[in-house]
Amino acid sequence: QVQLVESGGGLVQPGRSLKLSCAASGISFSVYVMGWYRQAPGKQRELVAAITSGGSTNYADSVKGRFTISRDNAKNTVYLQMNSLKPEDTAVYYCKADRIRFGNLYAYWGRGTQVTVSS
């Protein structure tokens, strides 16, 4: 059974930092592209950052220079370090694992963790 479990969310003041973790089980973690998405109230879910199995990264323009995605294949965990947080970063943050194998897409989502940026 595949499980992605996010942790590390919470309430934080503007300008502060937060680090999210996503622990995966039930998949060959190292071969998956791992991503962090977020969904704010009334808005569509959007990609925040992604990291390939080889360590290449991609970021949304809104978080470039502030957020850093990383992975530890030994721990089956992906991280999102969020610095200089803004109120507009408030959202539920989701972890996603993607893999294409023999033409088939395998995609799994976590249940999300709430991040609220407010003074």
pLDDT per residue as tens digits for the range 35-59:
999 999 999 999 999 999 999 999 9
Q: In what order do the strands lie in the sheet with 18-25?
A: 3-7, 18-25, 77-82, 67-72
* Cα separation values, 72 from 22, 48, 106, Å: 10, 19, 20
Structure tokens at 85: 């947080």
Question: CB of 84 within 8 A of CB of 106?
Answer: no
pLDDT classification of 67: cutoffs 50, 70, 90: very high
CA 21-25-28 angle, to 5 degrees, is 105
Q: Count of CB atoms within 10 A of residue 37's CB?
A: 21
Task: Quote the distance between the C-alpha of residue 47 and its chain's center.
Answer: 8
Helix (H, G, I), strand (E, B) or coil at 78: strand
Average pLDDT of the residues in 85-101:
96
pLDDT classification of 23: cutoffs 50, 70, 90: very high
The whole-angstrom separation of Cα 119 and Cα 114 is 16
Average pLDDT of the residues in 21-36:
97
Bridge partners (DSSP) listed for residue 50: 35, 58
